[in-house]
Structure 1
Amino acid sequence: MQLSSMLQLGLTGLLAACLPLSMVWMSSDPNKYRKLVWVTVFLTFDLIVFGAFTRLTDSGLGCPDWPGCYGAANPFLAHAEIVAAETLMPTGPVTVVKAWIEMIHRYLAMGIGVLIMALMATAWRQWRKTRRAEYAPALPTMLFVFVLVQGAFGAWTVTLKLQPVIVTIHLLLGMGLLSMLVWLGARQNRASALAHGRFTAPAAAAPAAAPATLGRLALAAAVVLAVQIALGGWVSTNYATLACTDFPLCNGKLVPEMDFEHGFHLWRELGKTAAGHYLPFSALTAIHWVHRNFAFVVLAVLGLAAWRARTHPGVARHARGIGIVLAVQAATGIATVYLNFPLTIAVLHNAGAALLVLMVTMLNYKIKYPSGPVLQASHHQ
């Protein structure tokens, strides 16, 4: 890719970040840093949902190179190459529409990268000036490193031709990035509330501390959710969504014929076994069946966590939200099978997973750091 095209691409990423940065700068909110954190959370959630749309519309190779499109900064400049590829394979991975979907996804990712750099720079500057806990720079710096790793996996997603393990890790990193940003946002909310005296005094706050069992249950919910997202990503990246066409049975059987060895061999090409043969249908069935049945574990653990947290001060609202989203997730998962994989419902199912990540992260933060004593500068949450 030529230097001029790289510069144009970088400028596009900066432009993608200009609108949210301008909104934050011109807002009436006196805490611009906190505002920027939550704007970045919102856009990261959108990026995950749009990433699901990119994957589900088979647009991941809409531009078969990286970071540009046929060496150009945008599909307009690569129009001739894209049209030529589409003419050869009208239903193939490269079409004009798919190229734009893929590049919009990349532009949004670059914009979020710029926002995270702004968060890190602001945190370091304010930390040096004030030493206030809400500006502790460790987490924003981790976010910057994390987004660099995520960008690398985005590149490998294309260069390794949608290899399932790479695409699944790319999804998990996206969810991890969202969780870290939400944790940072929760920290800013708490610091703001403390500064404005909206929390109870330390002596009164002590009885409100969550029991240890609830903390462990919330952590277990986060772990179980991460496993299920990995399994869901493995289903999606292996195109195993319709390997079972009925529910609650799978192809008419409680335990259908399954090939776990090939289905869960991680390092292999898309649609192939490790030996290079076509992946048998029984392997796809195993992938789908495991994700479907682990969903019952998710429902049990997250449901129990939400039930236990429903009466605890400070987290009852999040507990109710988790319960509602769990129910919607179960409905969209079943509907995806019964309605033969409609795109809208599949995207909603992915959005629900991201929303659960957001809510479970908030639940864990508020249990770990309940309303109470003023934060000390040495606490780097």
Structure 2
Amino acid sequence: MSHTYSREKAVTGPPYPASNIDDVKLSTDHRPPLARRLFSFWTPTPRTMRGWALASVVVNAGITVSGAVVRVTESGLGCPTWPNCTPDSLLPVAHPEISPINMAIEFGNRMVTFLVLIVGIACVLSAMRLAPRRTSLVRLAWLQPLGIAAQALWGGLVVSTMLNPFTVSMHFLISIGLIAACWALYARSGEGDAPVRRVAHPATWRLGQALLAAVFALLVVGVVVTGTGPHSGDVLASRYDFDIETVARLHADLAYVVVGLTFALLFALHVTDAPRPARRAALALLVIELAQGVIGYTQYFLGVPAFLVGLHVLGSTLVWIGALRVVTALRVRDPQGEPASPSPTEATAEA
């Protein structure tokens, strides 16, 4: 019997055959891929840690949209008490004065809060069990369950004040803050813990910061417009005592400022030959802003239909996420202990 391998076997066989069974590491995880992803918070890797952080961004953006659905469907008091849906039941039950559809929509929005909390807890567990543990990620991850708890308590205040426009406005802005914390976790989980190093010209960096501030101001004025407009969440809810035309025009003016700053930033990034991720982030933000502008003007001229209001809230959330992406794309953090080399734009500025 010949002891030589055939050419086919030599090609298809393992390139480095193990000398014995002890040299072969067998996998003990026989769970389906989906189950492994869902429970990856217990045995996290840097990649799965970042995946959970991205999931937190998605679910926190989603709950802002579900909150808008509650408002435009007049379901804000579908569950008239908190934390119970009705005075004598945690779950929705038939009520002679409340539409079952409105009750289901409001209760569904409350259930989304638990999904957001589950993802937040998964982020905390991933950060705490990641090896080596990174304190920066643990601190950022803890902001999520703490913020969600504060958001839930504020939701009770919204119900108890009969959808007072100030409490409703703050409800949205708290979500915006949570999204910022989630994005910070996502960005930090993909980089090291060394000091921040800008990858754009200092003037361009400052322009990015101004853009983020302008977007935040746009969102603040946007909730004032919402609190003055027709979609209050319930016929019993009060409204801001502002002239809707005036606040809507102010909102539009700020939108022009944001688009102008975004275009200026995109131009500056191309002129200074900034890294491609930063240029792509700025271009994506500009596209989102233009689409959001089309939605905004369409809903204004059509009399603010409910569907477009919900779509506009989604667009507002995407604009905020896009602005956060732009700012984080303008700087990096190297792995701890690795010497930082200046970026081409920094070298040019220093020269």
2:238 alignment partner, SS class = coil
Supply the distance in 1 between the matched residues of 2:56 and 2:206 (Cα, whole angstroms): 29
Within 5 Å, give how 1:171-182 maps onto structure 2. 171-182=172-183
Tell me what 2:262 maps to.
Answer: 302
TM-score, normalised via structure 1 length: 0.69
8 A contact 2:40–2:48 mirrored in 1: no
8 A contact 1:319–1:363 mirrored in 2: yes
Rate the CA distance shift 1:308–1:53 in 2: closer, same or farther, 3 A. Answer: farther
**Please, what is the CA RMSD of the aligned residues?**
3.1
Tell me what 1:220 maps to.
Answer: 210
Supply the distance in 2 between the matched residues of 1:306 and 1:338 (Cα, whole angstroms): 30
**AA paired with 2:90?**
A
When structure 1 is superposed on structure 2, of 315-324 and 230-239 the one drifting more is 230-239
1:50 alignment partner, SS class = helix
Tell me what 1:318 maps to.
Answer: 281
Supply the distance in 1 between the matched residues of 2:201 and 2:167 (Cα, whole angstroms): 39
8 A contact 2:82–2:156 mirrored in 1: yes
Tell me what 2:139 maps to.
Answer: 138
The CA deviation string for residues 344-368 of structure 1, in whole angstroms up to 9 with x for no partner, is: 2222211111111111111111212
Point out where structure 2 has 5 or more consecutive residues left out of the alignment. Answer: 1-33, 339-351
1:107 alignment partner, SS class = helix
When structure 1 is superposed on structure 2, of 103-112 and 310-319 the one drifting more is 310-319
1:315 alignment partner, SS class = helix
Rate the CA distance shift 1:376–1:332 in 2: closer, same or farther, 3 A. Answer: farther
8 A contact 1:25–1:32 mirrored in 2: no
Deviation at 1:302, TM superposition (A): 2.8
The CA deviation string for residues 169-213 of structure 1, in whole angstroms up to 9 with x for no partner, is: 110111111121112112223359x9xxxxxxxxxxx8x821111
1:190 alignment partner, SS class = coil
**AA paired with 1:102?**
E
Rate the CA distance shift 1:74–1:376 in 2: closer, same or farther, 3 A. Answer: farther
The structure with the larger Rg is 2
Within 5 Å, give how 1:51-90 maps onto structure 2. 51-70=67-86, 71-75=88-92, 78-79=93-94, 81=95, 84-85=96-97
1:136 alignment partner, SS class = helix
Supply the distance in 2 between the matched residues of 1:302 and 1:270 (Cα, whole angstroms): 36
Pairing 1:98–2:114 present: no
**AA paired with 1:32?**
T
The CA deviation string for residues 285-321 of structure 1, in whole angstroms up to 9 with x for no partner, is: 3332322322222222233223333552121111110
Within 5 Å, give how 1:155-174 maps onto structure 2. 155-174=156-175
8 A contact 1:21–1:115 mirrored in 2: no
8 A contact 1:306–1:322 mirrored in 2: no
Pairing 1:271–2:271 present: no
Supply the distance in 1 between the matched residues of 2:285 and 2:317 (Cα, whole angstroms): 12
8 A contact 2:204–2:269 mirrored in 1: yes
**AA paired with 1:119?**
C
Supply the distance in 2 between the matched residues of 1:297 and 1:124 (Cα, whole angstroms): 41
Deviation at 1:333, TM superposition (A): 0.6
Within 5 Å, give how 1:186-197 maps onto structure 2. 186-190=187-191
8 A contact 2:137–2:189 mirrored in 1: no
2:53 to 33, 37, 48: 37
**AA paired with 2:291?**
V
Supply the distance in 2 between the matched residues of 1:350 and 1:305 (Cα, whole angstroms): 24
Tell me what 2:199 maps to.
Answer: 209
Deviation at 1:22, TM superposition (A): 7.2
Supply the distance in 1 between the matched residues of 2:158 and 2:36 (Cα, whole angstroms): 32
Rate the CA distance shift 1:21–1:44 in 2: closer, same or farther, 3 A. Answer: farther
Tell me what 2:250 maps to.
Answer: 290
Point out where structure 1 has 5 or more consecutive residues left out of the alignment. Answer: 1-19, 86-93, 195-205, 242-268, 274-278
Rate the CA distance shift 1:111–1:56 in 2: closer, same or farther, 3 A. Answer: same
- Runs (4 or more) in structure 1 with deviation over 3 Å come to 20-23, 26-31, 269-273
Deviation at 1:52, TM superposition (A): 1.4
8 A contact 1:143–1:177 mirrored in 2: yes
